[in-house]
């Protein structure tokens, strides 16, 4: 595993910021890495305030969207709220549905069937809207490329408002309004909103239109925070503010649909809980059953309504986990049997693999074989696949080079989906391998662990940690600070822990003489060398451990390297 330092900021400017903010040099260093160079920027960073929300009317087409929805409200016309089956889509649908239900008699939430309708706006969904007498569909987290679907809806007398965050084509669909900060003609100041974030800007605009308080909308921000965390969008600017407020809301008053999943938490809710506890369960509904059940859970008004839905989704998540573990095992066996030692890509296929989990399986395979990966299964008489990439490698470009062997494909740099005829599988494998070989760099063939700063253990204090946790919420472009300390030794208390003794419980010291406890998950292979009193370096993040009511700082060690 390679370790690589994040680009260091200018030392003189770090010193100046340290003096200006009256904080340790190390903290000023971390802030400079995150683009914070002034007192006001630091104040906004550490104390995000609701008044920093941008005016929603800065978004192109917002006026048209608000006017069309106001017209529907005035006439009490039924509206369909349509979203994708992942976390961003289902939270978006729950957000807008619950908001509109306070203003409209009939609001129909709709999530397409992952297997029968596929991703995005479907003809079946539009037909269902037509049967229900719907005159307006509001699409969230999808629709920016749905030219034909919008035209079809128009032919049936149905208007569309699109709220999306994906990159548009050269032209946009002929909808009543297309809200997407990534439109080239949109001057909205923050471009990195997720679909649920765009949905929130829409209800913020409606709230202003009705001359109501924006703070009344903060109840919905737990949904927005969950979508931001799950969609892995940058944790900067407005996303960071919305997540900060959303987590605050979730800590104070979690909606009934979240309470079941969060009931065993021993610490206040954090972004990692949204990513690893909430998001997989919401996703499991769409993967193993129907995404609409996740929306029903998020709309639940009380525990009586929420509990059976939550238990059902918990069951689907358990089923999802056992299914992806089984398929991962089968795929690894297939790779071992077919292994070509010179391969730079992985393509595996079995007709019975569950389509809902092959994306997860592709990510799992990369943990074992670090290379661009395609996992395929059979669906509706053709092969359907999920593609995942390694850091820095543009898998979408590689797929573009193989387009003659596929029926269709779509996605972005790190993740994509595709379909192809089974007869083209061998040709596709060869073409994909060749495309990867021609494009992948040597530096992209091994995983890299990034760290922010080297630090001696004596610099780690309770005060440092208290300020560090105020840098949350963490996420892309504002990651939890990662430290490196050199010249470490076992202080004597390091031992193996875990049911299979696969983890390290560390007691380490360095040249400064400071001693810290730590945990290194799946790092048991280093135990013998540590007990030989060899010198090593550790790469880690800081956390707080509570045992028998006593709190103490601990190092969460990600990797260990022994010095020669």
559 torsion bin: left (phi>0), alpha (psi -120 to 50), beta (else):
beta
At 504, the pLDDT band (50, 70, 90 cuts) reads very high
Q: In b/e form, how buried is each residue of 203-230, taking b as 16+ CB within 10 angstroms?
A: bbbbbbbeeeeeeebbebbbbbbbbbbb
Residues 6+ apart with CB under 8 A from 494: 504, 505, 506, 507, 508, 527, 530, 531
Name the residue with tokens 């472009």.
Answer: 477
DSSP one-letter string for 472-535 = PSPBTTBPPP-EEEEEEEE-S--EEESTTS-EEEEEEE-TT--EEEEEETT-GGGHHHHHTT--
Torsional sign, CA 258, 259, 260, 265? positive
Angle between helices 279-288 and 303-338 (to 10 degrees): 80
pLDDT band at 369 (very low <50, low <70, confident <90, very high): very high
Q: Residue 564: exposed, middle, or buried by beta-carbon count in 10 A (0-12, 13-18, 19+)?
A: exposed
How far is residue 446's CA from residue 407's CA, in Å, rounded to a whole number?
Answer: 31
Full set of structural domains in the chain with CATH: 2-6+449-562 (2.40.50.460), 56-311 (3.90.1640.30), 339-444 (3.10.310.30)
pLDDT at 413: 86
Predicted confidence (pLDDT) at residue 340 exceeds the cutoff of 90: no
* Cα dihedral: 434, 435, 441, 444 (round 10): -100
Residue 444: predicted pLDDT = 94
Tens of pLDDT along 312-335?
999 999 999 999 999 999 999 999
Average pLDDT over every residue of 86-106: 96
Residues 64, 444: Cα–Cα separation, whole Å: 45
Please give the Cα distance from 88 to 91 (Å, whole number).
Answer: 5
- State the average pLDDT for the chain: 94
Quote the pLDDT of residue 548.
79
- Helix orientation angle between 279-288 and 87-101, rounded to the nearest 10 degrees: 100
Please state the pTM of the whole predicted model: 0.92
Q: For residue 116, what pLDDT is reported?
A: 85
Q: Are 417 and 410 in contact (CB under 8 A)?
A: yes
pLDDT band at 563 (very low <50, low <70, confident <90, very high): confident
Burial of 45 (0-12, 13-18, 19+ CB in 10 A): middle
């Amino acid at each position: 595993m390679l370790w690589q330092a994040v680009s260091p900021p200018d030392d003189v400017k770090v010193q100046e910021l340290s003096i200006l903010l009256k904080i340790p040099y190390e903290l000023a260093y971390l802030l400079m890495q995150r683009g914070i160079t002034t007192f006001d920027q630091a104040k906004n960073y550490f104390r995000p305030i609701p008044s920093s929300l941008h005016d929603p009317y800065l978004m192109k087409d917002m006026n048209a969207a608000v006017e069309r929805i106001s017209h529907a409200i005035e006439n009490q016309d039924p509206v369909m709220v349509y979203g994708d089956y992942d976390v961003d889509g289902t939270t978006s649908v729950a957000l807008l549905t619950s908001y509109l239900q306070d203003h409209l008699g009939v609001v129909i939430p709709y999530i397409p069937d992952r297997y029968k309708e596929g991703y995005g706006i479907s003809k079946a969904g539009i037909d269902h809207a037509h049967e229900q007498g719907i005159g307006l569909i509001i699409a969230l987290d999808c629709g920016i490329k749905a030219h034909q679907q919008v035209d079809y809806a128009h032919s049936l007398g149905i208007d569309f408002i699109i709220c999306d965050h994906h990159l548009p084509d050269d032209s946009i669909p002929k909808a009543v309004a297309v809200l997407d900060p990534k439109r080239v003609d949109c001057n909205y100041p923050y471009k990195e909103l997720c679909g649920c974030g765009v949905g929130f800007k829409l209800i913020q605009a409606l709230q202003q239109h009705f001359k109501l308080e924006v703070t009344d909308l903060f109840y919905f921000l737990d949904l927005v925070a969950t979508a931001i965390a799950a969609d892995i969008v940058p944790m900067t600017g407005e996303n960071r503010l919305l997540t900060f407020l959303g987590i605050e809301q979730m800590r104070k008053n979690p909606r009934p649909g979240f309470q079941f999943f969060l009931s065993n938490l021993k610490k206040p809710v954090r972004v990692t809980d949204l990513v690893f506890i909430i998001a997989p369960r919401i996703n499991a509904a769409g993967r193993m059953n129907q995404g609409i059940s996740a929306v029903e859970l998020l709309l639940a008004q009380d525990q009586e309504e929420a509990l059976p839905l939550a238990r059902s989704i918990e069951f689907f998540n358990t089923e999802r986990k056992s299914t992806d573990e089984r398929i991962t095992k089968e795929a690894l066996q297939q790779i071992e049997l077919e292994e070509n030692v010179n391969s730079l890509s992985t393509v595996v296929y079995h007709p019975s693999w569950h389509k809902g989990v092959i994306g997860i399986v592709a990510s799992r395979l990369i943990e074992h074989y670090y290379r661009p990966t395609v996992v395929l299964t059979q669906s509706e008489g053709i092969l359907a696949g999920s593609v995942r990439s390694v850091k820095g490698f543009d898998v979408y470009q590689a797929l573009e080079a193989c387009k003659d062997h596929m029926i269709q494909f779509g996605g972005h740099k790190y993740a994509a989906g595709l379909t192809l005829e089974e007869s083209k599988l061998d040709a596709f494998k060869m073409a994909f391998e060749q495309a990867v070989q021609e494009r992948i760099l040597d530096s992209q063939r091994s995983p890299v662990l990034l760290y922010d700063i080297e630090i001696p253990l004596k610099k780690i204090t309770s005060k440092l940690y208290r300020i560090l946790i105020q840098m949350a919420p963490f996420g892309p472009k504002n990651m939890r600070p990662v430290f490196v300390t050199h010249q470490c030794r076992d202080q004597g208390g390091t031992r193996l822990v875990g049911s299979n003794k696969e983890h390290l419980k560390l007691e380490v010291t360095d040249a400064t003489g400071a001693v810290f406890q730590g945990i290194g998950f799946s790092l048991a292979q280093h135990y013998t060398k540590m007990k030989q009193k060899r010198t090593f370096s550790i790469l880690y993040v800081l956390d707080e451990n509570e045992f028998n009511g006593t709190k103490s700082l601990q190092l969460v060690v990600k990797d260990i390297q022994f010095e020669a």
